[in-house]
Amino acid sequence: MEINDKLAVLEAILFACGEPVEIYRLSQASGVDTATIPSMIKLLNDRYDEQKSALKIMRLEGSFQMCTRAEYALCIKKALDTKKSTPLSNAGMEALTIIAYNQPVSKGFVENVRGVDSSSVINNLVEKGLVEEAGRLDVPGKPIVYKTTPVFLRSFGLSSLADLPPLPDKSDTPSFFDLPSDDDNENEDKD
């Protein structure tokens, strides 16, 4: 099979699936070696860029998904007449951050970090498809643990969890106890 035929097969599979497709599945279905798949996807993306296409193929950990570029989201929403999903609350973002950086974690862990009940917040994240159950801890009560999903990666434009920005260093964040002393204020008055 020629390279253009292989590219067409990969493109057809990704288009038809409409969701992330694992590299090994792409390989099995297309006959393209798993090691070659990423470079073939890059060729497709280069073509899309060259043609100023609305399409792109995103890598999501060990998978690829064909999707539209973000700049066309408004047009697509109008065409599909989709309801605007409610944005995440501050509590939702906080819980999602805790899960993303510490996964897999239990609801109890999230509640311990946040200091408040997080049942409804986690349920909302599950409903939105941003987190999912990832098993149970082997401790009394066997609590459910949660992890992020490919929807989370897509929503935040990440290829993998390794692309998460680093958390700020606590030493860089001023705390209440870092307020200027009276001596510092006196020195400012003298200037």
The answer to whether 104 and 147 are in contact (CB under 8 A) is yes
Q: How confident is the model at residue 88 (pLDDT cuts 50, 70, 90)?
A: confident
Residue 36 pLDDT exceeds 90? yes
Average pLDDT over residues 49-58: 94
N-to-C CA span, the chain: 78
What residue ranges define each of the domains in the chain, with the CATH number in brackets? 3-73 (1.10.10.10), 90-166 (1.10.10.10)
Q: Are strands 105-106 and 144-148 parallel, antiparallel or unpaired?
A: antiparallel
* pTM, two decimal places: 0.56
Average pLDDT over residues 70-90: 78
Q: What is the DSSP letter of 88?
A: P
Q: For residue range 96-140, what is the model confidence (pLDDT) as tens digits?
A: 999 999 999 999 999 999 899 988 999 999 999 999 999 998 888
Handedness of CA 108, 112, 118, 121 (dihedral sign): negative
Q: How confident is the model at residue 73 (pLDDT cuts 50, 70, 90)?
A: confident
Q: Are strands 144-148 and 63-68 parallel, antiparallel or unpaired?
A: unpaired
Q: How confident is the model at residue 25 (pLDDT cuts 50, 70, 90)?
A: very high
Share of the chain above pLDDT 90, in %: 50
